[in-house]
Amino acid sequence: MTAARESPAGRRATPDEVAGAPAVRRSGPVLLSEVAAHAGVSLATASRVLSGSRSVGEPHRGRVLAAAQELRYTPNAQAQAVARGASNVVGLIIHDVLDPYFSSIAGGVMRQVEERELVVFLASTHSDVDRELEFVQTMRSHRVRALIICGSRTTDRAHNERLAHELEGYAAAGGQAAVISQDRLGTHAVVPQNRTGARALARELCRLGHRRFAVLAGPRGLLTSRDRLTGFREGLAAEGIDVADLQVLHGEFTREGGESLATRLIAQGPLPTCVFAVNDVMALGALAGFRAAGVRVPDDVSLAGFDDIAPLRDVVPSLTSVHLPLEEMGARAAQLALDTEPQTTSQAVKVHAEVVLRDSTRRLA
């Protein structure tokens, strides 16, 4: 820190050029004032030329541009943000870049952000709610102009309130936020039709002749998991299946979670004819678990997931899932946060979920 402080001082003391050593750069970035001096104009003029905020007469204009180029001037975006009172960065909070669900969403967000020539701050919570809260703070402190959170709503009231509170603080400070997969937070929201999708899936599976199901669900506290489970139950009930003895196993929302649940399911005795994993990452884990135990999909058991994540394309058997336009969801959230006037009442976008039957679910004789 002291070093950082001393460097400008030392810099100024250094002669511009050491004789004989050509183009010896002093340390530290080039300042606008240096460009102005080099071009022989005032700071204001240099600033105006470079930011194009007002027209500047040709002789000066050219000189400033030349000087900037020669000195390799790069404006200090932080200082600009402070002076202008507005930054051009967007915050994005997800659980984990490594999870294809989140990276797809991130991809959608990125594309929108790039189109607008903004930059994104990426933070990953690794499913830790406290870090989520913390990151909202961080983003707020960086004065991001828009904040996109792709988390998972929990049933933890206290946490939800704190999050809503943080977001309200962020909004009060002038920021725009959009949340994916959550709602009732007073922000824009992009929410997939988890329940409807799961219901439709249940119907399709029943139409294939399945009657005995098991569900590999996520943590009890996660609303996404709960909604899908509820929808699935509803769908089964609508097909006249007794939901009371539906096997439901709860585990982590990860590949390992799915794998261990599959193992547990196998250990519990006779398999149902069809297993629904509430998300694809778990479904992939389950697939691995089944395979390891010698249980064949779909011959011994049918398997369906939810989300239709990208890696599904290369899995054999191809996995039945409920398709969610993940990239689009990210893009939509970004649009909501970036294109809506602040102070507008927040919008909630419902995202359609569509069942895609593939080879992992077979028709029963």
Partner DNA sequence: GACTCGTCGGCAAGCCCTTTCCCATTGCGG
Partner DNA sequence: CCGCAATGGGAAAGGGCTTGCCGACGAGTC
Query: Which residues of the shown chain bind DNA in the complex (CB under 7 A)?
Result: 1-2, 5, 8, 28-29, 31-33, 41-45, 47-48, 50-51, 53-57, 59-61, 73, 75-76, 79-80, 82-85
Separation CA 216–CA 130 (nearest Å) = 26
Taking the least distance from each CB to its own copies, the nearer of 37 and 315 is 315
Separation CA 361–CA 223 (nearest Å) = 26
Binding-site partner at residue 55 among its own copies, DNA, none, CB < 5 to 8 Å by type: DNA
Q: Computed over its alpha carbons, how large is the radius of gyration of the chain? A: 27
Q: 57: which DSSP letter? A: -
Closest CA to 305 of 244, 241, 240, 353: 353
Taking the least distance from each CB to DNA, the nearer of 69 and 155 is 69
Residue 84 interacting with its own copies (CB under 8 A): yes
Contact map string, positions 234 to 273, toward its own copies, x by CB under 8 A: ---------------------x------------------
Separation CA 116–CA 121 (nearest Å) = 15
**Cβ-based neighbours of 307, under 8 Å, separated by 6 or more:** 101, 279, 280, 281, 321, 322, 323, 324, 326
Binding-site partner at residue 176 among its own copies, DNA, none, CB < 5 to 8 Å by type: none
Q: 293: which DSSP letter? A: T
Binding-site partner at residue 48 among its own copies, DNA, none, CB < 5 to 8 Å by type: DNA
Residue 183 burial (C-beta neighbours within 10 Å; 0-12, 13-18, 19+) = middle
Residue 121 interacting with its own copies (CB under 8 A): yes
Residue 100 interacting with its own copies (CB under 8 A): yes
Which of these segments, 12-20, 140-148, 188-196, 243-251, binds its own copies (CB under 8 A)? 140-148
Taking the least distance from each CB to its own copies, the nearer of 134 and 239 is 134
In total, the chain counts a number of residues equal to: 365
Taking the least distance from each CB to its own copies, the nearer of 30 and 205 is 30
Within 13 Å, how many C-alpha atoms sit on residue 131's CB side?
A: 12
Chosen residue from 10, 62, 169, 209 binding its own copies by CB under 8 A: 169
Give exposure, 245-259, as e/b (b: 16+ Cβ within 10 Å).
Answer: ebebbbbbbbbebbb
Pairing of strands 274-277, 213-217: parallel
Binding-site partner at residue 142 among DNA, its own copies, none, CB < 5 to 8 Å by type: its own copies
Taking the least distance from each CB to its own copies, the nearer of 248 and 293 is 293
Residue 107 interacting with its own copies (CB under 8 A): yes
Q: DSSP letter string over 323-355?
A: E--HHHHHHHHHHHHHHSPTTSPPPEEEE--EE
Report which residue type is found at 281.
Answer: V
Binding-site partner at residue 51 among its own copies, DNA, none, CB < 5 to 8 Å by type: DNA
Chosen residue from 37, 50, 65, 123 binding its own copies by CB under 8 A: 123
Contact map string, positions 170 to 199, toward its own copies, x by CB under 8 A: --xxx-------------------------
Taking the least distance from each CB to its own copies, the nearer of 12 and 365 is 12
Binding-site partner at residue 2 among DNA, its own copies, none, CB < 5 to 8 Å by type: DNA
The answer to whether the beta carbons of residues 364 and 273 sit under 8 Å apart is yes
Which of these segments, 2-10, 151-159, 202-210, 244-252, binds its own copies (CB under 8 A)? 2-10
Give exposure, 288-305, as e/b (b: 16+ Cβ within 10 Å).
Answer: bbbeeeebebbeebbbbb
Q: Which residues lie near its own copies (CB under 8 A)? A: 1, 4-5, 7-8, 25, 27-30, 72, 74-79, 81-82, 84-87, 89, 92, 96-98, 100, 103-104, 106-107, 110, 114, 119-124, 137-138, 140-143, 169, 172-174, 255, 284, 287-288, 310-311, 313-316, 327
